[in-house]
A and B are shown apart, each in its own frame.
Chain A
Amino acid sequence: MRISELFARGEFVLTAEVGPPKGFHLDHLLHEAEEFLQDVHAINVTDCQSSVMRVSSLATCKALKDKGLNSIFQLTCRDRNRIALQSDLLAAAYFGIDNMLALTGDHTVMGDTKQAKPVFDLDSVSLLHCVKTLESGFDIAGNELDGDPPKFAKGAVVSPCSDSVDVQLAKMERKIEAGAEYFQTQAVYDSEKFIKFMDKAKQFNVPVQLGVIIPKNAGMANFMNNNIAGVSIPAWVIEELKADKEKTKAGITGVEITARVIKECRDYCQGVHIMALGWESKVPALLTQAGLR
């Protein structure tokens, strides 16, 4: 089901992200999704995340659908031109996948196949525009589609804790103008920064889901601070992760930190998006501690 309808009903929308494997064996992913992600409204499937070649997001969305799970088809503009992007969107519509999330995508040099041609024929804004055009019954070249047009809940991303937050807000506005109906944010650890961001973003009147990543240890936190755009982890979070190594290793500290961020930000957003990065098993505990189930 389209998550835009949940937002419209005023629900606090929960989503979680899974990353398809390198290979075509989806059993493990599907098992974890059925086991741990039953309580979220939809499951995002990443599209060759970090430019690492993996089985497609579309196939994984379809496999989740076959298990009765609602999915969000993530599409980046890195690997496909506008013909292939539209074609895959129509394929998603055929499978009954009706949530999508548009991303520009990381550059190919960030991943494991650096020799590949970076496409970027479209970008997140023009891709959203393209989806809107398909929904009006035409392709991007102006040719009419056969039969009823597809309909998607159209999502996009924004980084509230970016050091270029004004540039991000300007881009957010462009995405809305192009058709974005909901936003998921880059991981937030600093509630104050998020609340300040929402103070500016609320003028757009478009639902925003707080993005969270359960931190696994201090090393991961430092790595994200230094290398991941739009993520800024305060020193006190890193100290907390260092304090009791066993507790951190068991995931207890990470879940506590993340639950706290969710509670602090809850009143300022319209949902939560959990990027578990392999820690899908911690999602139920996180939802409980954050008071979301």
Chain B
Amino acid sequence: MLITQLKTIDEIRTLAGSKTVIISCEGCKEVHFPECEATELYKELSDNGTALKVIRTEYICSPENLDVATRKHIDKINAADTVLVFACGVGVQSASAQFASKPVLAACDTIPLPGYQGVTPLEVDCDQCGECYLNGTGGICPIASCSKSLVNGQCGGCKDGKCEVDKDMECAWERIYKRLEKLELLENMKYPAKLRNFAPEA
């Protein structure tokens, strides 16, 4: 895990919807994970019946670890409307790849920590942008996976599903569109213009 902070409590409540399974990744908490606030929230969401299950585990950035940790709860995951992940952007992306037919949502924003780039080199990547976009993009990172880090949709350079910069690379926004189409969440694409915030955090 990189360094994460929780999204606002109200936002997380909205994301959780009515039936969710929570995956809480506490792998590299030696860096930073807001454990106290998260635990309080897990309790609230379990007590009011929203969370069907809270899976506390570690290093979900590794697909094998994630699989081992979630396998025995797969019925609950199937019954849920969403999977809500408390982890860094890498963890959320590996979960969204694993549960490709379920909306996998991020409860945390991953913020930059100079020098520390995580522990697991993987095909998915997180640039620690500080305002995680994965909830609008079907769990595919537009910052690390799009050559221009675009946050408002595909550029005009995509050809045959490939990125203009590298013909061997899938266009991130093509993948995002297909994933949202599959999840029947294309409405997600209709948000007002987004502008990234490059101001260093106080």
Contact = CB atoms under 8 A, between A and B. Distances in A.
B156 A186 contact: yes
Given A128-B193, A229-B164, A162 B158 contact: yes
B148 A107 contact: yes
A167 B173 contact: yes
Interface stretch (B64-72, B78-86, B127-135, B184-192): B184-192
B161 A122 contact: no
Given A126-B193, A129-B193, A171 B160 contact: no
B147 to A, nearest CB: 6
Contacts, number: 97
Interface string A151-183: 000000101001110111011011001100000
**Range of interface residues on chain A?**
35 or more
Given A107-B157, A164-B158, A170-B177, A140 B190 contact: no
Interface string B126-164: 000000000000000000000111111111111111001
B156 A170 contact: no
Contacts of A171: 152-154
Contacts of B165: 107, 109-110
A120 B142 CA distance: 13
A174 B195 contact: no
Contacts of A104: 148, 150, 155-156
Nearest to B165: A107
Q: Which of A121, A129, A174 has the most CB of B within 10 A?
A: A174
B156 A164 contact: no
A190 interface: no
A168 B158 CA distance: 10
Given A167-B173, A177-B192, A229-B156, A123 B161 contact: no
A177 B154 CA distance: 16
Nearest to B163: A107
A33 interface: no
A110 B163 CA distance: 12
Interface string A100-129: 000110110110000000101111111011
Contacts of B148: 104, 107, 118, 120, 123
Contact of B152 (A125, A164, A166): A125
Nearest to A226: B159
A164 B164 contact: no
Nearest to A158: B156
A190 B177 CA distance: 25
Given A107-B147, A121-B196, A126-B195, A159 B152 contact: no
Nearest to B186: A170
A68 to B, nearest CB: 32
Given A163-B161, A164-B174, A170-B189, A120 B149 contact: yes
A61 to B, nearest CB: 22
B154 A167 contact: yes
A174 B189 CA distance: 8
B159 A229 contact: yes
B152 A123 contact: yes
A82 interface: yes
Interface string A180-199: 00000010000000000000
A24 to B, nearest CB: 29
B198 interface: yes
A230 interface: yes
- Top 8 A-B pairs ranked by shortest CB distance? A129-B193, A125-B152, A229-B159, A171-B153, A104-B155, A120-B148, A178-B193, A167-B177
Given A104-B148, A229-B159, 12 more contacts: A118-B148, A122-B195, A123-B151, A128-B193, A140-B195, A162-B156, A164-B161, A167-B158, A170-B153, A171-B152, A174-B153, A229-B157
Interface of A: 82, 103-104, 106-107, 109-110, 118, 120-126, 128-129, 140, 157, 159, 162-164, 166-168, 170-171, 173-174, 177-178, 186, 227-230
